[in-house]
Amino acid sequence: MITKGNFLLLELPEFRPWILKQHITRGISRLQVHHTWLPNYSTRKGQDHFKCLEGMRNSHLANGWSGTGQNITIFEDGKVAISLDRDLNKVPAGIAGANTGAICVEIIGDFDKGRDDMTSLQREAVGHVYACLASKLKIPVDTDHIVYHAWYTPSGSFLGDYVPNISSKTCPGTNFWGMGNTVASAKKGFLQDVQYEYDKLKESGDDAMTTVEKLEFDNLVKKVAKLEEETKKIPAPKWFVSEFGSSDLGGKISDPSFTLEGWRTLAVGLRVGK
């Protein structure tokens, strides 16, 4: 989890614990689905995540917007960025005339036919992020509540499907999810995968240990084990007996049992006293 400038960058396992802690005060009933078109996989090669994000923000500011248009951005490597200047309590600038009550998620890439093929890491991240949002906000996983930009007119009227030459854009792409941008393709592919992830989250429960929490717990267990090892009393090491003749120094020590560090400290003292 890294904060820099106007953005918070998360590894995918960090997203769920982050979203569960958010206090959202505005009503949200829809999740928008967008591809960025530009930047895309070609422009992203070797580019820093924050440079990409700030570039989009500058472009949006040049449009006269108050800040970054989207609330959330999902990268091709599975990382997830939160727009700090367009947090979840702020209405996005995603679909003109249809942003109230919505969250805008931009997926890095150009997913029109013949363009970018979504990476497996990004595909996993997209499914997970939408499932987490739907779970957090109690939003049904269907085409009335998880909507493609292509299902709207330029003025924000809901068409209910992609209609060439009438829809505002092809976004999220005519080959999005390897299937397309129509309602039928969404129901057959993308939303089924989001529902599958959503069901997994419900089975595990919101109180279940996340991947990040499990890693932290495992590290804590290792630290405790190390501490126990360091504080465990042991008989005199062979080197101590060899150097000083016995473990109890000829009966001077009633209970010759110390930690390893204790034996080392005792040996130093005895050497100084010689």
- Report CA dihedral (206, 207, 208, 213) to the nearest 10 degrees: 110
Instruction: Provide the Cα torsion 228, 230, 236, 238; round to 10°.
Output: 120
pLDDT recorded at residue 209:
55
Q: Which two tokens stand for residue 174?
A: 């005519």
Amino acid in the structure at residue 34: H
Per-residue confidence (pLDDT) for residue 214, from 0 to 100: 66
What pLDDT sits at residue 208?
53
Q: What is the pLDDT of residue 212?
A: 62
State the pLDDT at residue 211.
60
Q: How far is CA 183 from CA 37, 117, 208, in A?
A: 20, 20, 33
State how far the Cα of 44 lies from the Cα of 41, in Å rounded to an integer: 5
User: pTM (2 decimals)?
Assistant: 0.75
The CATH 3.40.80.10 domain(s) of the chain lie at 2-211
pLDDT < 70 regions, the chain: 205-214, 217, 228, 274
CATH number of 2-211: 3.40.80.10
Q: How high is the pLDDT of residue 257?
A: 83
Q: Is 255 helix (H, G, I), strand (E, B) or coil?
A: coil
Q: Are 109 and 170 in contact (CB under 8 A)?
A: no
